[in-house]
Structure 1
């Protein structure tokens, strides 16, 4: 392990101790010294094609490992990860943004150094708006303390943080007498006890209680506690778009995905007819609520997230989500017989129709048979996500998508972060042609490091999810021969898919080829859409007409 004798080596040591064993980024002269320290450390630096790709990879890594990091140079690199940092903040993904910067001694008399914008603090000020904590390590006596403060804040609040290192500070020795003393973060015991008591009374008195679990169950590592809660009480669980795969979706207590018109109709009717909805870590945002086609009665709701607890329209202060969920496991919630019969479980077989052109609906029906417990689905925004909502994912935290911030381009670089976070699972990447044209170049990084995702490009000639809203030439893009990127990077297996039988053959061959990535260019009609998107479009049309 590195000795904590300089600012740079101390930061590396603390990141490694927090489980960050890979850092994603692009080198640049203001950060080359730190990159060299990484090269001689236990942390592997993963050099991506572009900073945005690095940011998305770090975000995906954080979602699986609990903390991720991206390392970039000053301004030209830093500003490229503004979008990915905004996504991490919006969706509570704890990513550490590490930026090199001009040295303190270089700043005397405010010279016009390359990459500088307005003044030397411009980048720092911008990232203060996008992170939960930030610091510039310009004081060796306080640097170690600042590093620990910022990292602890990221882990507590599950949001991104920013650390800027002037390059002449990197090898400066820090305060050798400093010792980090972790702060204890606990719920207010009186408030927690009162909230749990009221919750148990409401659940036990309810005729049809249901658990609605969302993204914070992922972020705070509460998936196993959720599983224990449903199995010891027999209260069924529905998940949301952001929370998809908080529980094995083949579990007998799983109702389906609740997202208003976007989700399962069975889950929608069950949740909305419940007299006690236990919402754990739920974001009440538009996509989670099917563009507000959902109907949840606050008078029947127990709503607990990391920053708020309310029960039937009144609030409790000072309660952590983790303590509330763990507390429920210690209470006397009565066990009940399951009161539903869910017929929406996936089919166990799929018979392709020879020479039948592939549709989005049939594509996802076939994928439901294809995915297994050793795969993780990474869905980009668009019908990659909406179609993916009807997939049944086999394990906890095996479906990733930026479904709140909704930035195109996450999925391909996200596969990089996922495979370094957990090399034992294989990503199934679902990406539209528009999103692929933004960040698909990261297949070069995937090839460089010998990763093996299966990448399915939904090739429908443009931004198909925009067309039902307002169509025009602006929704069209240049047609690429997507699968031939394997020839450009000199790696991977490629498949050009038009029919159901071609899709079946491509999937089977991809499964049997774990040595490299596989890319499937799946040709779909420009007016085709997934059943989930069609459900939402139909529901919104009722409101318009």
Structure 2
């Protein structure tokens, strides 16, 4: 290609080349001309209700599509989004945050512009970037047109390779500055560092030796597995070894739960208390560990380092030895070797829960008149799920309940195990549903391209970010929402203050929200399905309704629950919390 294009078009077209198809955000006077280039660059603009929600939505989009993007204005806009960007950092979501900033000359002079502290100092234009440097892995201030394209490429590359957010400042006076279009001919280098051949071979030999000699092994899959691009290799390892395999809450949905050697979430409480088996393991392969307190039952499931092979993004650790190395190529070589040589069969396979056997024995004999109890609600809802679904579970009782789901093949679950920002999931659902729509023709064989987007959210968290229901409706996204109405912040009540007023929320008429937010009750092109259920019989009738389970549009069910009811998993975890006080 020859000629020149505006710098902003270069930025958006570069993002499009990575698979991005939509930009979330909110217009502001420092980014308006920048937004003029979104649609001409082949991207869709999604205007959100506020910047926090926009960043949540970009995060949800990124977890499905592999990258998300948000545009905000300088100062007030970017600071409104910083909580969500910090969550993307904590939970490894690749989001590009683009900030429109004042013209360079005014920044240099420290002019007292709106959205600054009006100190009259250039520092006013540096402070927000310094804040973002703490919650992003790469930053670029595009003040030099000659080097701007290279800076754009650098931060996008880091965003994808590290699966974490990055930050780009684009001054108003460079929005339309021209750069050579030929620069787009050079593809982004998204390959990880190449391993030293001898080192890779040596580490492979060590891993194969440990695997072949294991008498009581376990594979523990965590959330970093998918963020590091190791999901397929991990599943291949699980199949070739036939080792007992478990996951963490944050890693749920990464593995095929129909495999006979998959045994659910490793816990130290309830039905998944594997303590006695794990304590005697001579080998634990821990892939993509995220050792937060919530993800590890207050650190009870962190593996013993002396028997563990730990696989991180760019290192492998065996005992106390750590090799800085790209794990993907090592795992590929390990799997190839094990496939050729064969892995010895475990002589005494542990008696651990098998997910498909558990699904087959789920109780279905509740009386139609019985009210719900969270103890059995979540597992029974497993029967509603199907291959290709994207399932989001909000922090609180839905997130804990989602741990009880027994998932079909090729199911994606989005939960939070680190940041736990209540209200995240409704905007994230908007982003995930849009990403599902945008799965390209080349990805059409992915089951998610034909699946459903399903949100489980509590009433309190819904009230945090309810406006994004309007964005779902405005963009005519196909979404199913199960709104758990338990009259307030149940998880907070269970932690402290069960009857305290501060754990109450206003009593909303939730099923009127679609109408208020712009849905047309009689629309045939975007149908609205609404229902309130209090008993199993009422819920079962909806589950059997084809319009509900396989239809289009917005389908919203208000599920009435008792105020202090929760599933056994949450109750047991809270018992630990109250003991630890952490």
TM-score, length-normalised on structure 1? 0.93
Structure 1 match to 2:443: none
Task: Please point out which of 408, 424, 440 is paired with 2:422.
Answer: 408
1:315 and 2:322 aligned: yes
- Asked whether the 8 Å contact 2:211–2:283 carries over to 1, the reply is yes
Task: Please point out which of 496, 501, 509 is paired with 1:473.
Answer: 501
The C-alpha deviation readout for 1:233-259, integer Å capped at 9, x for no partner, is 212321111111111212212111114
Structure 1 match to 2:299: 292
Cα pair distance change 1:540/1:10, threshold 3 Å:
closer
- Asked whether the 8 Å contact 1:461–1:477 carries over to 2, the reply is yes
Structure 2 match to 1:392: 406
Structure 2 match to 1:517: 554
Structure 2 match to 1:508: 544
Task: Please point out which of 335, 342, 347 is paired with 2:359.
Answer: 347
- Asked whether the 8 Å contact 2:24–2:46 carries over to 1, the reply is yes
- CA-CA distance at 1:231 after TM superposition: 1.5
Cα pair distance change 1:43/1:2, threshold 3 Å:
farther
- Asked whether the 8 Å contact 2:253–2:407 carries over to 1, the reply is yes
- CA-CA distance at 1:468 after TM superposition: 2.7
- Pairing 1:30-41 to 2, within 5 Å after superposition: 30-41=30-41
Question: Could you say what secondary structure the match of 1:141 adopts?
Answer: coil
Question: Could you say what secondary structure the match of 2:330 adopts?
Answer: helix
Q: For 1:543 and 1:469, locate their aligned partners in 2 and report how far apart those are by CA, in whole Å.
A: 12
- Asked whether the 8 Å contact 2:228–2:288 carries over to 1, the reply is no
- Asked whether the 8 Å contact 1:66–1:219 carries over to 2, the reply is no
Aligned length: 542
1:135 and 2:140 aligned: yes
Structure 2 match to 1:497: 533
- Asked whether the 8 Å contact 1:3–1:9 carries over to 2, the reply is no
- Pairing 1:146-545 to 2, within 5 Å after superposition: 146-174=151-179, 182=189, 185-261=193-269, 264-265=271-272, 267-294=274-301, 296-316=303-323, 318-332=324-338, 334-337=342-345, 339-345=349-355, 346-348=358-360, 350-396=364-410, 398-423=412-437, 424=449, 425-471=451-497, 472-491=500-519, 492-509=528-545, 511-512=548-549, 514-539=551-576
- CA-CA distance at 1:51 after TM superposition: 1.4
Q: For 1:299 and 1:410, locate their aligned partners in 2 and report how far apart those are by CA, in whole Å.
A: 37
The C-alpha deviation readout for 1:40-87, integer Å capped at 9, x for no partner, is 221111112221121111112212222111111112211111011101
The C-alpha deviation readout for 1:182-218, integer Å capped at 9, x for no partner, is 3761234343333222222122111121111111221
- CA-CA distance at 1:475 after TM superposition: 1.6
Question: Could you say what secondary structure the match of 2:208 adopts?
Answer: helix
Cα pair distance change 1:468/1:9, threshold 3 Å:
same
- CA-CA distance at 1:381 after TM superposition: 0.6
Q: For 1:396 and 1:374, locate their aligned partners in 2 and report how far apart those are by CA, in whole Å.
A: 5
- Asked whether the 8 Å contact 1:142–1:175 carries over to 2, the reply is no
The runs of 5 or more residues in structure 2 that have no matched partner are 119-123, 438-448, 520-527
- CA-CA distance at 1:305 after TM superposition: 0.5
1:61 and 2:98 aligned: no
Cα pair distance change 1:433/1:274, threshold 3 Å:
same
Q: For 2:287 and 2:155, locate their aligned partners in 1 and report how far apart those are by CA, in whole Å.
A: 27
- Which has the larger displacement, 301-310 or 132-141? 301-310
- Asked whether the 8 Å contact 1:402–1:410 carries over to 2, the reply is no
The C-alpha deviation readout for 1:394-436, integer Å capped at 9, x for no partner, is 2346111121111111211111221222223211101111211
Q: For 2:543 and 2:127, locate their aligned partners in 1 and report how far apart those are by CA, in whole Å.
A: 48
Q: For 2:163 and 2:549, locate their aligned partners in 1 and report how far apart those are by CA, in whole Å.
A: 37
- CA-CA distance at 1:327 after TM superposition: 2.7
- Which has the larger displacement, 129-138 or 197-206? 197-206
- Asked whether the 8 Å contact 1:452–1:515 carries over to 2, the reply is yes
- Asked whether the 8 Å contact 1:266–1:344 carries over to 2, the reply is no
Question: Could you say what secondary structure the match of 1:468 adopts?
Answer: helix
- CA-CA distance at 1:290 after TM superposition: 0.8
Structure 2 match to 1:96: 96
The C-alpha deviation readout for 1:498-537, integer Å capped at 9, x for no partner, is 1111222233336346221111111111111112112223
Q: For 1:230 and 1:132, locate their aligned partners in 2 and report how far apart those are by CA, in whole Å.
A: 32
The C-alpha deviation readout for 1:343-371, integer Å capped at 9, x for no partner, is 45343463442221112123213311111
- Asked whether the 8 Å contact 2:261–2:354 carries over to 1, the reply is no
Cα pair distance change 1:435/1:418, threshold 3 Å:
same
Q: For 2:75 and 2:32, locate their aligned partners in 1 and report how far apart those are by CA, in whole Å.
A: 14
RMSD value, Cα: 2.4
